Copies of this chain bind each other. A is one copy, B any other.
């Protein structure tokens, strides 16, 4: 059982809760989550949830066995709709984000932005800070890259999204992009989740390579609780024994998350498959299964890409994929 105090709870409120507990032989653990005081009780206690909720300064009393709460459908039956400029995510429409794995130059990101816009994309993706398994791989252009992408987005009327890897990068991302992405490898980097939530901008939260759906929603709960309800979940494949694809796209996660949560969810077929020949069918599956969008890697010359070339679509391939997706959306939504 966890007693969540209000942000504005006074020391007197907090002390009162603690002494109330101790008077009945319950010795709580007191803890901080940012400005919020959390008072935890292990084992049994003689109080009902109602009695504790009634104490001064208490915001909520949470049964830790129900793992997530504020991102759940029970808490918020209507779907969350995220609005950025003219783009809406979560209202039944289908949003296509596209762009390179990494922003490589000003010219490159502008060229890609123009093209994906012409094919009906609404969002532009591109990495400025790259999480790379190997320290010898290209690590990204940093702030320069973000500036290039911001300009390319503005010129072409595209919403921009880029990954934040470190709490120290949050202010930079806030300055330049419309939506911050928390990558799969950072899905349980809880300090980053908190900082991103405090920043208050829309967040795209990718599922970790071995994260369960429940853990994904708990990670979203961290962001939500820190102040940002504008969260887009992203299914990008999980790690399994099958080796013909880089990861296994868990297509069931889309209807499941829709049932369990009010948050929108999109599909990243590029990282799921790791090979370009599967991007089109997987994007169509995303439309059919009810996803709110896709995020696709495309590059004018994938073989020269600094990273993820094998999974990036060429421009003609992206055009073909976008056409098929748009046609299926038109026929079914």
Alpha-carbon gap, A186 to B33, bound state (A): 19
B277 touching A138, Cβ below 8 Å: no
Q: Which one of A14-22, A148-156, A198-206, A207-215 is at the B interface? A: A207-215
The smallest C-beta distance from A256 to any residue of chain B, in angstroms, reads 6
User: Would you call A196 an interface residue if the criterion is a C-beta within 8 Å of the partner chain's C-beta atoms?
Assistant: no
Give 1 or 0 for each of A257-301: 1 = CB within 8 Å of chain B CB: 001000000000000110001100110110111100000000000
A53-72 interface (Cβ within 8 A of B): 62, 64, 67-69
Q: Answer whether A282 and B251 are a contact pair too, CB < 8 Å, given A188-B133, A222-B135.
A: yes
A: number of interface residues (CB 8 Å):
89
Count of chain copies: 4
Alpha-carbon gap, A238 to B167, bound state (A): 27
B167 touching A244, Cβ below 8 Å: no
Q: Answer whether A241 and B239 are a contact pair too, CB < 8 Å, given A29-B306, A288-B281, A332-B328.
A: yes
- On chain B, the residues within 8 Å of A255 by CB distance are 277-278, 281-282
The 8 A-B residue pairs whose C-beta atoms are closest, nearest first, are A210-B210, A288-B288, A166-B191, A185-B188, A284-B288, A255-B281, A285-B285, A251-B251
Task: Mark A residues whose CB is within 8 Å of B.
Answer: 2, 4, 29, 31-33, 38, 40, 42-43, 62, 64, 67-69, 104, 131-142, 165-168, 185-186, 188-192, 208-210, 212-215, 218-219, 221-222, 225, 238-245, 248-256, 259, 272-273, 277-278, 281-282, 284-285, 287-290, 303-306, 309, 328, 331-332
